């Protein structure tokens, strides 16, 4: 699949396979198009070439109605949480249930409380999104992402900007929900240790292509210097510390 | 910059204007398609009617009252020289119903409700709430845009009617209790000289057109805004400027059609 924005090529003929029931991580430096990839999978963007298939359906050839049917089987956790700010936590999670099901209020209440209990926020159901911490907002968004019992959940940078406790909670939740709800998870992140600790398989992407792929162990043992620099978080290496410039002495002397 | 460059720049601007107009029309078409489904969910529109209509009411009441009072006062200063001050109500009521009612309400509506709509939708876009809805298989056109368009469309004529009524009362205060016009003359002339269709209905038709254009611009600007704080500020400004100019331009056009021979 290839995709570009204007004249800038974001993906150049990349190919990824997301296995069922596993946690697949997509990692790479900032600005490599990881979030764009999730939007392509979800059908919010259309590739220039190639296709995205989910469960045998070509996402971009579906009618709007069929695409919406497919999306009911996908959950997505946005980086910002994307909670609706004018309704409280309970109503945020009840929202997709009310829109897509004919369940009565008592059944919706039970389902929402179960989802909230799964992320440890049953007691926060009456709070407004503005009253939640960043970590709590992401857990509420996680509860909303699984509200319709999807088969696949996509996590967009779930660990960014989280304190260590929140991060630990989110790491455990992603792993445990994947197992208990038999989900297929896609985690997009550049938080290396956390992502590697829960992933079954990792794709490392940069400059519009898959640089390498494999299990966390395989990546740790990779001999590729770029992969090692990324995983170890080294400041200098194949990706230079300095932005391209003339030699420093020449610049200082002013020539 | 040579002539060719200037010409190229002008051409680019013209193309960009028409391109945005095309986008806005397609956007509106997409929203209009969702309106029938919305009729089954009136609560969504009622909620927006409160936000766009009720919350604009105070500014409409205050402005309407003052506009009516000023009109009466100015009319008195001019007419008294000709001994025709009894005709104050005719001038106040006709001006309010034909022009100032719909135009002033439109301008105030654009500043108060239009800018708020753009800011709200722009913020929903920048905080990924619209994307979030799409990923929950919920169409933001139907759930977010259409109720706001419909509510604005319904609210504007109601607000205009309120503006006119309060303006006439403001004029009454100044004319009768301020400059001493006989109360019976004020009301009877107002009743006698106002035609229900020519004056009141034409004014209301104007308000419906203005309301539709204002919410269309406001909602489109919010949806099309660049999701940054600067982009949101620019979109809000564009809403107020474009919808105010649209109201004034359309007012001329509608007046020419309604009251002239064009």
- Write the CB contacts of B65 (distance below 8 Å, at least 6 apart in sequence): B166, B167, B169, B170
DSSP symbol at A182? T
The pLDDT tens digits of the residues spanning B1-54 come to 688 899 999 999 999 999 999 999 999 999 999 888 888 888 889 999 999 999
Taking the CA of residue A163 and the nearest CA in chain B, the distance in Å comes to 21
Phi, psi of B3 (to 5 degrees): -60, -40
The pLDDT tens digits of the residues spanning A124-151 come to 999 999 999 888 898 899 999 999 989 9
Q: Looking at residue B262, what is its pLDDT? A: 53
Q: What is the SS3 assignment for B57? A: helix
Among partner residues B129, B134, B135, which is closest to A84 by beta-carbon distance?
A: B129
- Write the CB contacts of B122 (distance below 8 Å, at least 6 apart in sequence): B221, B222, B223, B225, B227, B231, B232, B235, B236
On whether any CB of chain B is under 8 Å from the CB of A34, the answer is: no
Answer yes or no: is pLDDT of A191 > 60.
yes
Residues of chain B with pLDDT under 50: none
- Write the CB contacts of B137 (distance below 8 Å, at least 6 apart in sequence): A68, A69, A71, A72, A96, A99, A100
The first and second tokens of residue B63, run together, are 């402005």
**DSSP H helix total and E strand total for chain A:** 10, 10
pTM flag (> 0.90): no
- Write the CB contacts of B113 (distance below 8 Å, at least 6 apart in sequence): B51, B52, B53, B55, B56, B152, B155, B214, B215, B218
Among partner residues A42, A80, A144, which is closest to B127 by beta-carbon distance?
A: A80
Among partner residues B129, B139, B143, which is closest to A82 by beta-carbon distance?
A: B129
Residues forming beta bridges with residue A25, ordered by sequence position = A187, A202
Q: What residues 87-146 of chain A have any CB closer than 8 A to a CB of chain B? A: 95-96, 99-100, 144
Beta strands A8-11 and A3-5, pairing class: antiparallel
Distance CA(A98)–CA(A94), nearest Å, equals 6
The pLDDT tens digits of the residues spanning A6-42 come to 888 889 889 999 999 999 999 988 888 888 999 999 9
* Confidence label for A116 from pLDDT (cuts 50, 70 and 90): very high
* Set of chain B residues whose Cβ sits within 8 Å of the Cβ of A45: none
On whether any CB of chain A is under 8 Å from the CB of B131, the answer is: yes
On whether any CB of chain A is under 8 Å from the CB of B129, the answer is: yes
What number is the ipTM of this complex? 0.83
The first and second tokens of residue A152, run together, are 């696949």
* Confidence label for A64 from pLDDT (cuts 50, 70 and 90): confident
Residue B133 · residue B140 · CB < 8 Å: yes
């Amino acid at each position: 699949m290839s995709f570009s924005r204007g004249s800038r090529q974001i993906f150049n003929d990349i190919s990824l396979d997301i296995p069922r029931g596993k946690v697949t991580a997509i990692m790479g430096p900032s600005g490599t198009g990881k979030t764009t990839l999730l939007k392509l999978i979800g059908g919010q963007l259309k590739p220039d070439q190639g296709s995205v298939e989910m469960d045998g359906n070509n996402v971009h050839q579906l009618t709007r109605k069929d695409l919406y049917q497919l999306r009911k089987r996908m959950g997505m956790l946005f980086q910002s949480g994307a909670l609706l700010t004018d309704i409280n936590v309970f109503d945020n999670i009840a929202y997709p249930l009310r829109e897509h099901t004919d369940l009565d209020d008592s059944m919706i209440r039970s389902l929402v409380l179960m989802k909230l209990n799964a992320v440890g926020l049953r007691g926060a159901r009456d709070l407004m999104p503005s009253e939640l911490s960043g970590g709590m907002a992401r857990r509420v968004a996680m509860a909303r992402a699984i509200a319709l019992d999807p088969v696949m959940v996509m996590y967009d940078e779930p660990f960014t900007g989280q304190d260590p406790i929140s991060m630990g909670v989110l790491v455990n939740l992603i792993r445990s929900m994947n197992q208990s709800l038999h989900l297929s998870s896609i985690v997009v992140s550049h938080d290396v240790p956390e992502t590697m600790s829960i992933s079954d398989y990792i794709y490392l992407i940069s400059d519009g292509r898959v640089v390498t792929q494999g299990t966390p162990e395989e990546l740790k043992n990779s001999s590729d210097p770029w992969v090692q620099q990324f995983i170890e978080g080294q400041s200098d290496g194949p990706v230079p510390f300095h932005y391209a410039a003339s030699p420093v002495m020449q610049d200082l002397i002013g020539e | 910059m040579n002539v060719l460059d200037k010409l190229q720049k002008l051409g680019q601007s013209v193309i960009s204007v028409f391109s945005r107009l095309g986008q806005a029309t397609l956007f509106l078409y997409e929203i209009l398609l969702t309106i029938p489904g919305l009729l089954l969910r009136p609560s969504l529109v009622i909620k927006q009617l409160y936000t766009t209509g009720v919350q604009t009411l105070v500014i409409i009441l205050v402005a309407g009252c003052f506009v009516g009072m000023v009109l009466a006062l100015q009319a008195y200063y001019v007419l008294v020289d000709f001994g025709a001050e009894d005709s104050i109500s005719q001038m106040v009521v006709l001006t309010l119903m034909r022009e100032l009612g719909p135009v002033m309400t439109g301008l105030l509506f654009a500043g108060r409700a239009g800018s708020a709509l753009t800011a709200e939708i722009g913020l929903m876009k920048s905080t990924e709430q619209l994307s979030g809805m799409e990923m929950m298989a919920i169409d933001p056109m139907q759930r977010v845009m259409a109720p706001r368009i419909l509510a604005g469309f319904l609210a504007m004529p109601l607000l205009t009617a309120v503006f006119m009524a309060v303006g006439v009362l403001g004029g009454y205060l100044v004319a009768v209790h301020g400059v001493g016009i006989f109360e019976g003359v004020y009301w009877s002339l107002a009743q006698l000289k106002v035609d229900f269709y020519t004056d009141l209905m034409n004014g209301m038709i104007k308000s419906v057109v203005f309301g539709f254009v204002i919410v269309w611009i406001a909602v489109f600007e919010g949806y099309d805004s660049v999701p940054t704080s600067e982009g949101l500020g620019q979109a809000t400004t564009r809403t107020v400027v474009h919808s105010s100019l649209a109201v004034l331009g359309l007012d001329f056009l509608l007046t020419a059609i309604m009251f002239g021979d064009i």
